[in-house]
Amino acid sequence: MSATTPAAAPLGQALARKRSNPLPAIILAVGLIAAIALASLGFLESRKAEAVVVLARDVPYGQQIVAEDLGSVELPLHRPAQVAGIVSPESAIGQYAARNLGTNDLLQPTMLMAQPPSQPVYPNGEALSTNMVPLPFAIASVGPITFRDRLNIGFSDPSGAPDLCEQAHAAAGGLQPVAAAPTAAQPRPYACRLLSSVRVLYVDEGANLAYLELTPYQSHTIWALQAAGLQIWGERYGAASTPLEGLDRLDIGQVTLDDLKAPTIPGSIPGANGAIPGSKQP
């Protein structure tokens, strides 16, 4: 009995190589090309910049902005919202500063307002409060002072009029002055502190004047004292200091050593007789 031999495969089929699938290589190549393209586009996009408006000089609060106030700086096109800024100078010109703006500040929409302030504004950006009036005050004897300080105001009466200090206090407080009964004692010159911790709006160093914020009645009282020929004096005072209470008139015959050495805290000031009106505290 003879064995059966399997039929041999065709020679061409045996010699033919198995072909590989090119699709994965094509996908990989396309992915690499796309990644390179996107990276290039991202790099080019990150290099893009635009001109943003900055302040070329200081602009006080309430001042209208003009073209000369503005400059520009290049910033990346894609940047955080906090530094988005304004890109069109024309949109800022004619607007008003909503606060004190400094040189090189990046101009933001919140820094601008369409209407001017309703109250007068001084060159340093300080605005006069509603229903208050400014009073020019000579500061030659006060010394260096800034709008961040406060001022105490008093006057000296060389005649020694017996009731002038009391009447001035009453007038400054909006009360009706009442004349004191005449006295036979020999009047002596005295000093009287009138107002404490008055707000300084602006200091004109060239003119040696400080513009103070007072109520109309307080200002009128100061003018009346000046009209009477009395010497007005001022004391530089800290904004954080406790406002002083009103003093009765003080002449040299009333000064005592204990009073001079007394601590300067409320209630311990010699001659204190109650609060004296002043301008608003910060």
Q: How far apart are CA 261 and CA 243, in angstroms?
A: 19
Q: What is the pLDDT of residues 12-59, one digit of tens each?
A: 555 555 566 777 777 777 777 777 777 766 666 666 778 888 899 999
What crossing angle do the helices spanning 216-227 and 164-172 adopt, rounded to 10°?
A: 150
Q: Does pLDDT of 276 surpass 50?
A: no
Contact status, residue 94 vs residue 65, Cβ threshold 8 Å: yes
Residues 6 or more apart whose CB falls under 8 angstroms from that of 130 comprise 119
Alpha helices in the chain (DSSP H): 11-15, 23-46, 164-172, 216-227, 257-261
* CATH 3.90.1210.10 is right for the domain spanning 49-113: yes
Q: What is the pLDDT of residues 253-262, one digit of tens each?
A: 777 787 778 7
- pLDDT at residue 212 in the model: 95
pTM (2 decimals)? 0.59
Domain ranges of the chain: 49-113, 133-261
